[in-house]
Each structure stands twice: as structure tokens, then as C-alpha cells.
Amino acid sequence: MKRREFITLIGGAATWPLAARAQQPAGRVYRVGYLAGGSQQTQLYLIKAFEEGLRSLGYRVGQNIVIEYRFADGEVQRLPALAADMIRLGVDVIVSGNSLSTVAAMKATSTIPIVMTSSADPVSAGFVASLARPGGNVTGFSLDGGNEGEMQGKRLGLLKETLPNLTRVGMLWNPDGLVPARLESMREVTHPLGLKLVAVEARGLDTLEQAFATMVREQMQAFILVTDTVLFNYRQQIGVMAIRNRLPATSSLREFAEAGLLLSYGPDFQTLYSGAAVFVDKIFKGAKPADLPVEQPTKFELVVNLKTAKALGIDMPPTLLARADEVIE
């Protein structure tokens, strides 16, 4: 049941501003590389948002712009080769899907502009010198507003609001997903909430059963999932295991709530991907990534899975349901 409809850009040739069309150099065809760690199927709504963003700025795929899509299908070890392939194709800019994609793109080139769509804490990761002055060939969006701890704290707060007696929380994460620095920030935000955090590793499907067994053994009352490309591919299995082990859970991505986690809270990724088109446009018009400040998400969405709540015997607070952008029933 939708609580608020997404705000989307209006595309289509009939609605393109004449000024936007006139800004494109005659005869110039731009080439964009789109590098994603996930599959094309899971990226469809993000691809649509990105292409609609380009259309609103006067770009027509196949006419004055070509997009080279490359998907690692969850096999993140393929990202470096896919990035290198884009360099051979002579792309004018690379749009990277997450932190792992950004790393692969940066290793492939230090000169071709890279636009991040959702990289976590790009300053600590070494992608940019600062949000205000990136200083290199990378710019774009910083996931979670550039403050991972604060955003995880909000997700934990939502769990605490739902489960007032919550004291022990697991953190399910993939240590190969460039998130070690998040562990300390997570510990910092759990103390004010009166929560004890236990980190549990899962590098793939074969380790998930063990991870859930650990959380049950450690008497975790709920868990927070730190998203990455690998765990995203197993979201359906994670959703099933969470319900089977009676563990309420939260994540940053709505797809995990749709897969069975209790709730999700995070940036509206469609807005980030349509916004990436604006960065691409500025670069095509001569702007340097080093001079384009990294932006932070301004629109966030809360998704609650009421089916999961009922399966776990949880009465969701009416005030929380009223704030939800979507309730899955």
C-alpha cells in the first residue's frame, strides 16, 4: 500500500525544454560507461531513473549519447575487467553503482571522470579529498549523507521504537564489501540507544546459515544488515532466514524489506540515479569532477513489511506506520 508516490522526473521528447536541446553540440555523440556490481534485472528501475534524467537534459540514447552497460551479476571480482573494457571503448565518463564499482573504475583510470551514484563515505574510502572539493576525477553522491553512523543510528532507532525492550542487536555484514570502518561508527551509535552490538560476518550464501546460527546462539533480538552487492543477491534467502529465526531486521534498501526484512530506511535511489545524470551533463559541458562538490541524499524513504511483522507477532507502532512511505501488506 503506497503512502506517498515517488517524485520522478518527467521524460519524453515532447516535454524536453528547447533550451536543453539547443545546448548539445551539433553532431557530438557522448559515450557513458555504466558500471554495476549487481545484475541488469535488479538495476532496471535505476537505469530508468538515470535515462529519464538524461532525457530531461536533452540527451537521446542512440542519437547524441551512447550508454555502455556492464553488470557484474554479483560476481564483484569481475568489476576490474568490466571497468577496463569501458576504458578500451573510450567512454567520456563512468557512472559507478556502489563503492566496489567506484574502486574498480578508479583503478582503471585516473583521468576519465567518474560519477558515484551511491558510494559510502567516499572521504574515508579515499575516493575524494573532501565532499566540498573532491580534488580528483571522482564526484557524485555520498551514500547515507556522508555520515554512515548517523544513518545506521536512525535505523537502529526505528528498531528500538518498534521493540522497546531491545538490548542486543546483530550486525550482518560482508567484510569483503569495503565496510570495516563502519563497524566502529556502528558501535558509537549503539551506546546512546542502550544496545549491545555483535558483528556477524557473511561472505556469501554458504555462510549465511552459520551467521544466523551465531545470532541465535548469541541471543540477538534483532539485526541490522549492512548492504553490499553480494548480500543483495541473496536478499530473498536472508528474508526467509530472518523470519524462520524470528529475527526482526532493518537495512538501507527497500528491496530487503520487500524480501522479508521488517523495515528499511535509506535514500531514495531513484533520485540519486536521476541526479547522476545532472553530474554527467555538467561534465559534458566542461566542468571538472575535482571542482564539483559531492552531494548528499535529500530524500529518504521508510518501508515497513507488515506481513513480516504479523509473522513475527510484532505490533507495529501506529506512529511509525503513519510515517512510512510504503507499507507492505
Q: Which fold has domain 148-266+301-328?
A: Rossmann fold (3.40.50)
What is the reported pLDDT for 14? Answer: 32
Give the pLDDT of the chain (329 residues) as one tens digit per residue: 444 433 333 333 333 333 333 344 457 899 999 999 989 998 999 999 999 999 999 999 999 999 999 999 988 899 999 999 999 999 999 999 888 899 999 999 999 999 999 888 888 889 999 999 999 999 999 986 545 667 888 899 999 999 999 999 999 998 876 555 566 667 777 878 888 989 999 988 889 999 999 999 999 999 999 888 888 889 999 999 999 999 999 999 999 999 999 999 999 999 999 999 999 999 999 999 999 999 999 899 999 999 999 999 999 999 999 999 999 99
| Distance between CA atoms of residues 167 and 108, nearest Å | 45
Q: Do domains 13-145+267-300 and 148-266+301-328 have the same CATH topology?
A: yes
Residue of 28, 50, 44 lying closest to 275 (CA atoms): 50
Q: Where are the domains of the chain?
A: 13-145+267-300, 148-266+301-328
Count CA atoms closer than 13 A to 240's CA, side-chain side: 6
- CATH of region 13-145+267-300, choose from 3.60.9.10, 3.40.50.2300, 3.40.50.11900, 2.30.40.10: 3.40.50.2300
In whole angstroms, how far apart are CA 49 and each of 23, 98, 120, 282? 21, 16, 20, 18
pTM of this structure = 0.83
What is the reported pLDDT for 76? Answer: 87
